[in-house]
A and B are shown apart, each in its own frame.
Chain A
Amino acid sequence: MGKSEKFDLERILDKATSLGASYADARYQCFDDELITVENRELKSYSSRRLSGIGIRIIVEGAVGYASTSDLRQSCLERRLQNAIKAAKSIKGQKHVFVETRINKTKVKSPAKIDPSNVPPEDKVSIVLDANKTAWISSNVKNAVTRLGLTKDSRLFMSTEGAHVEVETTLVGLSHASVAKVNGAMESVNDWGDSRCAGFEFIKCGDWNSFTAGVSKLAIEAANSGTPPPGTYTVVVDPEVLGLVVHEAFGHASEGDIVSSGESVLRGKLGDKLASDMVTIIDEGTVEGGYFYPFDDEGTKKEKTVVVENGVLKNFLHSRNTAHRLGGRPTGNARAQDFDNLPIVRQTNYYLEPRGFEFEEMIEGIEFGIYVRGKGAGGGEVEPGLGTFTFGVGPSKVIRKGQLAETVKGVVISGSILDTLKTVDAAGKDLKIKTSVFGGCGKEAQRATVGFGGPHVRVRKMTVGGR
């Protein structure tokens, strides 16, 4: 893989063994990334990047050392290996154990018909320019930014145990943000749009013009509206917000490293009923609409992991080491942002399974509540030690006497992991999972592309803030 293959990873691994490492792995990565930004009908920037390098992880006397470099000459790799060993030797009293995992030798690619690197730059630019033009639906629109993102991530994993796993993932997407001003009030709506693990065909076939016009319409509507009264209400959340909530509020606390360090509120709770019967949560490597992640950065296959089943906590997400610490099986969740980083436990596509409710059934009978929507949401954050989470969601709707009423902006929701999911009393029939080329989840200064989603659900108690 890659045309600059001058290095010999096998030789590095052998050398590691001869220098006293009980285990070693090496990860080569080549990441191609293009970002085209059009602002106010003009091309603002066209940037392309190629990032490649190698990370070497070794265990010496139970301690983990790591070194990485973007200098791919063999002599440099050997020097970096020495550095990793020196780092490991400075650590005292650590016993790092990896649970046995199946040793894989394989090569996989995400489905892509047209490789973005084969598409002429002018074709890419014209799609973004066109999409940006249609965002100017009225004089209330003051600013419009459209982005096209195209990435190809090729990774090779090799270990002293004989693993050899190559994965190539192409991810493309288009996003848009509009700023509107109505009677002096300014509001921006930033929609992450649609991204897919596919080739350029996904961009070519999308209806991006009505997408950007829709974002502008929502920004105007939001600038024109008020904020909800603060308090704790019954809410119905859409699949996007639900996906965020489940990922942030429950997902992080279910990551094996946070559990084993004692930080997570879920520690010691396997087998406990933590959510209502309506709640079944899955982490899965390849799902429709999600991110393509068939193997993790330790070469473990990412299969379907049931985290919560009908409200009962069944499994944590694991790397080979956290599986050892907590007595589980590796679930294929050891992920590294890039070759500069050690894999840590991350979610892949984390979602809630659908149930049988219709949307109308869920809102009827709500005297006063909020229909919380994700379009234009800012994201979220959790304090896994306390179980407190918070999200900035998109312009939403008030629910009054069982009917959708006026739009509200500036909505923030907040709750507690261990309480909120207990009050989920209805889940819809629909299932929608999304991923994004523009952002991802941050943990310990590493970003990871994830998929998230689920059906519409009703939550009986959610704290809603606004001005």
Chain B
Amino acid sequence: MELADLAVKKALNAGATEAEAYVQRTNTIFATFADKIENLKTVESTGIGLRVAIGKKTAIYSTSILDEKEISEVSMRAVKIAKVTSEDSHWNHFNKKFAKTSVEGCYDKRLENPDYKEIAETLMSAVGCMKDYDKRVRPTRSFLAIALENVSVANNYKESSERRETEIGVFLACKVQEAGMNSTGAEQQQARTWKEIKFEDLATKAAEKAVKYLKAKPIMSGKMSVIIRNQIFANVLAIFLSGPINADWVQKGRSPLSGKLGKQVASENIDLVDDGTARGGLRTRPFDDEGHPTQRTPIIEKGVLKSYLHDTYTASQDNVESTGNASRLFGYWTRPEPSPSNLILQSGKTKLEEIIRETKKGLYVDQTIGEWLSNPVSGNLNATVTHGFLIENGKETQPVNGVIIAGNFHELLMSGVEIIGNDVRNSMGTIGMGIYSPTVKLAQLTIAGK
């Protein structure tokens, strides 16, 4: 019997009226490198998260030890906790619809037997590209992670379903120092298969960036139009939308998008979908973290809010179907809750060069820190620009750093998104979500500088 099914059976025997088991097995290779490979580590990690319900009382218990004796103990402990906790009046039942959506491009068989030497050589040749770009470039701490994951989910309504996926993430960084000036450059990419990762391109771009921003400095405080690069705007979308479109936030009164279904929440040029089935998408999967099939859900169409993201729990409260967005964001031990799969801001038509060329005065934002400190409830957007440049009469002039950009995201979405680029890319800065965005031009943001 599969371990997940066994755990469900044991929990029911121990007195649970419902039970759900989630078994996760992950193999990861992680390399740290700068000029040379610092270390190479391999991690085998396993775990089971068991959710039980006794009537409307629920509990979740998890362990990293996957043997039968521990599973028995876990079942008993989970039931013991559920017995004494208070009722969740909104509780209905675990997922009853188990199925697999057909998905492609999410598994690279080649990574089952990784060749450590080939990995090391690939990384060193990427580092070589940085140094070849300019002799002042010095590679700094960079990382590669390769993960293979296998998940099975079972509950008292259905036997276990299994899915497997692979994921590769690379972060390449370097630094340039000259005459008391400092500059850094970094590039990152995340993909499902090894051949998608463009190691040498990324390395060259990181080096190019470090050289380009060597003379960056703050500009004066003021207001101007701001162009935000694709991966950075994807981070912004993750912060401002992943929570507010989560039906749990809406139902609990935390979301600024409460009561806005069918209403205009963005300008007409905004189309946003959550697509758990996108080919090769970072969070494309046949089923979500409670076994429900994934799907493509339009969230915003021509600026109108069409749907929230649901799991079984939130869907039953709103009397709708789950959208297949149950997610255990941090791993097997976390309670599933709705979260984006691949949240995609649909591409526009304009090339980045054209956006810049048509800007009379503005700030191009290439890299930021602290954008995650923004507040999705109030809509206050803040980020500190570490890499940017001033655009004057359609040309890049002064490189900029150390200024804070600020605005209200909800207002920007309603009337501030002037141009949407055609260069959709995913963001790597966000745990457990695939967020995709093109570069966008915002009409006006406040800039705190000198």
Query: Do chains A and B interact in one complex?
Result: yes
Question: Which A residues are closer than 8 A to B by beta carbons?
Answer: 4, 33, 39-40, 42-53, 63-72, 80, 83-84, 86-94, 96, 120-122, 125, 129, 142-143, 179, 185-188, 223, 227, 230-232, 257-258, 261-263, 265, 340-342, 378-383, 385-392, 409-410, 412, 414-416, 444-445, 463-467
- Cβ A50 vs Cβ B62 within 8 A: yes
User: Smallest distance from the beta carbon of A78 to chain B beta carbons, Å?
Assistant: 13
Interface digits, B401-420 against A, CB 8 Å rule (1 contact, 0 not)? 11111111000000000000
Q: For A232, what are the chain B residues with a Cβ–Cβ distance below 8 Å?
A: 448, 450
Q: For A67, what are the chain B residues with a Cβ–Cβ distance below 8 Å?
A: 41-44
- Cβ B44 vs Cβ A70 within 8 A: yes
Instruction: Please give 6 more A-B residue pairs, beta carbons under 8 A apart, in addition to A48-B77, A414-B403.
Output: A69-B43, A121-B80, A230-B446, A263-B141, A385-B175, A414-B448
- Cβ A179 vs Cβ B65 within 8 A: no
Contact among B47, B119, B254 with A90 in the assembled complex (CB-CB below 8 Å): B119
User: Smallest distance from the beta carbon of B7 to chain A beta carbons, Å?
Assistant: 14
A457 to B82, CA, bound (A): 48
- Cβ A388 vs Cβ B401 within 8 A: yes
Query: What are 7 A-to-B residue pairs whose CB atoms are below 8 Å?
Result: A48-B77, A69-B44, A186-B377, A230-B404, A258-B141, A261-B34, A263-B141
- Cβ B39 vs Cβ A92 within 8 A: no
- Cβ B184 vs Cβ A386 within 8 A: yes
Closest residue to A36 on the B side, CB-wise?
Answer: B85
74-92 of chain B: CB within 8 A of chain A: 77-78, 80-82, 84-90
- Cβ B448 vs Cβ A47 within 8 A: no
Closest residue to B141 on the A side, CB-wise?
Answer: A261
- Cβ B380 vs Cβ A227 within 8 A: yes
B447 part of interface (Cβ distance < 8 Å) = yes
Contact A129-B333, Cβ < 8 Å, known A67-B42, A71-B44, A412-B404: no
A-B residue pairs, 9 tightest by C-beta: A392-B373, A465-B404, A230-B448, A66-B41, A90-B116, A385-B184, A390-B370, A390-B384, A465-B448
- Cβ A143 vs Cβ B404 within 8 A: no
Contact A86-B116, Cβ < 8 Å, known A40-B253, A381-B369: yes
B120 part of interface (Cβ distance < 8 Å) = yes
Question: Which B residues are closer than 8 A to A by beta carbons?
Answer: 28, 32, 34, 36-47, 58-66, 77-78, 80-82, 84-90, 116-117, 119-120, 138, 140-141, 143, 145, 173, 175, 182-184, 218, 221, 252-254, 256, 333-335, 369-370, 372-375, 377-378, 380, 382-384, 386, 401-408, 446-450
| Residue with the greatest number of chain B CB neighbours at <10 A, chosen from A52, A341, A463 | A463
User: Smallest distance from the beta carbon of B66 to chain A beta carbons, Å?
Assistant: 8
- Cβ A121 vs Cβ B81 within 8 A: yes
- Cβ A414 vs Cβ B39 within 8 A: no
Contact among A65, A187, A227, A385 with B39 in the assembled complex (CB-CB below 8 Å): A65
A409 to B382, CA, bound (A): 12
A383 to B34, CA, bound (A): 17
Closest residue to A92 on the B side, CB-wise?
Answer: B120
Contact among A39, A94, A122, A342 with B84 in the assembled complex (CB-CB below 8 Å): A122
Q: For B374, what are the chain A residues with a Cβ–Cβ distance below 8 Å?
A: 392
Contact among A45, A387, A391 with B373 in the assembled complex (CB-CB below 8 Å): A391
- Cβ B42 vs Cβ A382 within 8 A: no
A187 to B374, CA, bound (A): 12
- Cβ A66 vs Cβ B373 within 8 A: no
- Cβ A262 vs Cβ B77 within 8 A: no
| Residue with the greatest number of chain B CB neighbours at <10 A, chosen from A66, A143, A380, A386 | A386
Q: For A86, what are the chain B residues with a Cβ–Cβ distance below 8 Å?
A: 116
- Cβ B252 vs Cβ A40 within 8 A: yes
- Cβ B44 vs Cβ A80 within 8 A: yes
Contact A70-B47, Cβ < 8 Å, known A94-B36, A465-B448: yes
Q: For B401, what are the chain A residues with a Cβ–Cβ distance below 8 Å?
A: 386, 388
A72 to B221, CA, bound (A): 58
User: Smallest distance from the beta carbon of B254 to chain A beta carbons, Å?
Assistant: 5
Contact among A50, A340, A382 with B45 in the assembled complex (CB-CB below 8 Å): A340
Q: For A50, what are the chain B residues with a Cβ–Cβ distance below 8 Å?
A: 62-65
Q: For B141, what are the chain A residues with a Cβ–Cβ distance below 8 Å?
A: 257-258, 261, 263, 444
User: Smallest distance from the beta carbon of B305 to chain A beta carbons, Å?
Assistant: 17
User: Smallest distance from the beta carbon of B185 to chain A beta carbons, Å?
Assistant: 9
- Cβ A463 vs Cβ B175 within 8 A: no
- Cβ B183 vs Cβ A464 within 8 A: no
- Cβ A382 vs Cβ B408 within 8 A: no
Q: For A48, what are the chain B residues with a Cβ–Cβ distance below 8 Å?
A: 59-62, 77-78, 81
User: Smallest distance from the beta carbon of B153 to chain A beta carbons, Å?
Assistant: 17
- Cβ A392 vs Cβ B370 within 8 A: yes
- Cβ A342 vs Cβ B369 within 8 A: no
Q: For B45, what are the chain A residues with a Cβ–Cβ distance below 8 Å?
A: 53, 68-70, 340
A120 to B402, CA, bound (A): 51
- Cβ B384 vs Cβ A414 within 8 A: yes
User: Smallest distance from the beta carbon of A66 to chain B beta carbons, Å?
Assistant: 4
Q: For B120, what are the chain A residues with a Cβ–Cβ distance below 8 Å?
A: 90-92
Contact among B41, B81, B145, B402 with A388 in the assembled complex (CB-CB below 8 Å): B402
- Cβ B406 vs Cβ A230 within 8 A: yes
